[in-house]
Copies of this chain bind each other. A is one copy, B any other.
Amino acid sequence: MSSLRYVVAVDVGGTETKAALVNGGPGAATVLAERRRPTPRLDDGAATAAAVVDSVIDLAAELGDLAEGPVEALGVVVPGVVDEERGVGVLSANLGWRDVPFHRLLAERTALPVAFGHDVRAGGLAELRLGAARGSTDAVFLPIGTGIAAALIMGGRVQSGGGYAGEIGHVDIGHGEPCGCGQRGCLERVASSAAVARRYAARTGRRVRGAVDVAEAVRAGDPDAVLVWDEAVDALARALLLTSTLLGPEIVVLGGGLALAGDLLTAPLGRRLTDLISFQRRPELRLAELGDAAGCLGAALLAVDLLEAR
């Protein structure tokens, strides 16, 4: 018999919460059932956090009822600055909370052991064990969505830096524009999928649904789209150069909305990075394999790891 276990995994996103009943082991995770719900948003961060806890507990109960055996653990990941060791959501600019003891709040509401983590690092763990970074010990998972953050894999482990590692969206790549974080020149102001859509719309006056529309316009030869896209690619290449200089990853896994453009992103980004690289190791660029399920699968792996460590 396999040593796979039933766990419930929940990925609390900025707009949507994804939950899954997973049959998993340390290097395997099969989704048996899925649920998606809007992430609750209330007037203040503490109330939002409490509603998120309610929602996670509901989803766990609902999915747990579908399992053909006992569910053994609950894995939950949230965005922002997350201190895994203390089990605290330190800060979510988007959802408005500060210093929420999620691990304790969840453990008070369920008899299951609770693994608590960070959405992007959990996604990196999933790509490392099950996806595009399999077999690597030094890699970076870079989901490019509304914002840009990275999961840093060094020495075969996803490193958290006490919750502060991986904020590559806020490295200064020199464009000088102010960012909501209080700094200037931040990568995500020109290279997030939201920024690409926003900058194209501002330039042309055209409405776009997102970066996917801009990518389509690039393919059609629209010069405004090409310009915005090239600026994003150049900024990403500069940020990857910095990352290579400091960390020396062998693989960079590109994910999130912008990576849906596939070759349109990886081909020029690879060329630009090759131009910039000097003595550094040139990382191989790969597209993420797990799509938007990465965070949820990572939450399942965290839950399995918790059980295995017992």
Q: Which A residues lie at the B interface, using CB under 8 A? A: 81, 91, 93, 137-138, 150, 152, 154-155, 157, 159-168, 170-172, 174, 181-183, 238, 241-250, 276, 278-281
Assuming the contacts A154-B154, A174-B174, asked whether A161 and B249 have C-beta atoms less than 8 A apart, the reply is yes
Bound together, the chains give a CA A149 to CA B249 distance in angstroms of 17
Tell me which residues across on chain B come within 8 A of A171, comparing CB atoms. Answer: 242, 245-246
Q: Are B246 and A242 in contact (CB under 8 A)?
A: yes
Q: Are B279 and A165 in contact (CB under 8 A)?
A: no
Assuming the contacts A154-B154, A159-B154, A242-B242, asked whether A164 and B81 have C-beta atoms less than 8 A apart, the reply is no
Bound together, the chains give a CA A9 to CA B280 distance in angstroms of 29
Tell me which residues across on chain B come within 8 A of A172, comparing CB atoms. Answer: 238, 241-242
Chain B residue with Cβ nearest A168: B246
Q: Are A248 and B164 in contact (CB under 8 A)?
A: yes
Chain B residue with Cβ nearest A170: B245
Tell me which residues across on chain B come within 8 A of A174, comparing CB atoms. Answer: 174
Chain B residue with Cβ nearest A155: B159
Q: Are A279 and B159 in contact (CB under 8 A)?
A: no
Q: Are B281 and A164 in contact (CB under 8 A)?
A: yes
Tell me which residues across on chain B come within 8 A of A183, comparing CB atoms. Answer: 276, 278
Tell me which residues across on chain B come within 8 A of A170, comparing CB atoms. Answer: 245, 278-280
Bound together, the chains give a CA A248 to CA B165 distance in angstroms of 5
Q: How far is the CB of A122 from chain B (nearest CB, A)?
A: 16
Chain B residue with Cβ nearest A140: B246
Q: How far is the CB of A226 from chain B (nearest CB, A)?
A: 26
Would you list 13 pairs from A and B whose C-beta atoms are within 8 A, ordered by A residue? Answer: A91-B279, A152-B246, A160-B248, A161-B249, A162-B250, A164-B244, A164-B248, A166-B248, A168-B246, A170-B280, A174-B174, A182-B279, A183-B278
Q: Pick the residue among B162, B238, B241, B244 that contacts A281 (CB under 8 A).
A: B162
Q: Are A248 and B281 in contact (CB under 8 A)?
A: no
Chain B residue with Cβ nearest A249: B161
Assuming the contacts A155-B159, A157-B155, asked whether A247 and B165 have C-beta atoms less than 8 A apart, the reply is yes
Tell me which residues across on chain B come within 8 A of A91, comparing CB atoms. Answer: 279
Assuming the contacts A154-B161, A161-B281, A164-B281, asked whether A247 and B246 have C-beta atoms less than 8 A apart, the reply is yes
Bound together, the chains give a CA A181 to CA B276 distance in angstroms of 12
Bound together, the chains give a CA A138 to CA B83 distance in angstroms of 13
Greatest chain B CB density within 10 A among A155, A171, A279 is at A279
Bound together, the chains give a CA A126 to CA B121 distance in angstroms of 29
Chain B residue with Cβ nearest A93: B279
Tell me which residues across on chain B come within 8 A of A168, comparing CB atoms. Answer: 245-246
Tell me which residues across on chain B come within 8 A of A243, comparing CB atoms. Answer: 246
Q: How far is the CB of A68 from chain B (nearest CB, A)?
A: 37
Bound together, the chains give a CA A33 to CA B80 distance in angstroms of 51
Chain B residue with Cβ nearest A276: B183
Tell me which residues across on chain B come within 8 A of A162, comparing CB atoms. Answer: 137-138, 248, 250, 281
Q: Can you add 14 more A-B contacts, CB < 8 Å, to A138-B165, A164-B244, A167-B246?
A: A81-B279, A93-B279, A138-B159, A154-B165, A159-B247, A161-B248, A161-B249, A162-B248, A164-B280, A165-B248, A167-B245, A172-B241, A242-B246, A246-B246
